[in-house]
């Protein structure tokens, strides 16, 4: 089983953002994406914070999949589901949640 070590996490982060300029670009794109309403722009931005903390983070392919999944080897999994196209007030209807 792979080990979730500090050096392994650091290597993942450095692969994702190998320079201060790239880190600045990633953060700028992430903030812009997370400020969007359109799910096509919003959902990819959910994976950037996961990658910045060393997770293998991505949007799974296929229909009716979570918006972003973060995985630290076999130690921890996190699934994110956002409803960016809903109004900020009120409840999200049961038809919109699976």
| pLDDT tens, residue order, the chain (98 aa) | 456 677 877 888 888 888 889 889 999 999 999 998 888 898 889 999 999 888 899 988 887 788 899 998 888 899 988 876 666 676 666 666 65
DSSP 3: -
Using alpha carbons, select from 71, 91, 90 the residue that is nearest to residue 80. Answer: 71
Question: Which tokens hold the place of 8?
Answer: 């392994």
Coil/strand/helix, residue 18: coil
Residues forming a β-bridge with 77: 71
Cβ atoms of 30 and 48 within 8 Å: the answer is: yes
Q: What is the pTM of this model?
A: 0.75
DSSP 67: S
């Amino acid at each position: 089983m792979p080990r979730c070590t500090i050096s392994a996490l650091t290597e993942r982060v450095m692969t994702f953002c190998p320079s201060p300029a790239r880190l600045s670009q990633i953060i700028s794109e992430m903030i812009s994406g997370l400020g969007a309403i359109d799910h096509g722009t919003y959902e990819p931005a959910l994976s950037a914070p996961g990658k910045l903390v060393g997770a293998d983070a991505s949007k799974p392919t296929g229909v009716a999949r979570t918006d972003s999944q973060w995985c630290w080897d076999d130690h921890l999994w996190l699934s994110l589901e956002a409803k960016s196209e809903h109004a900020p007030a009120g409840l999200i209807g049961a038809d919109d949640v699976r």
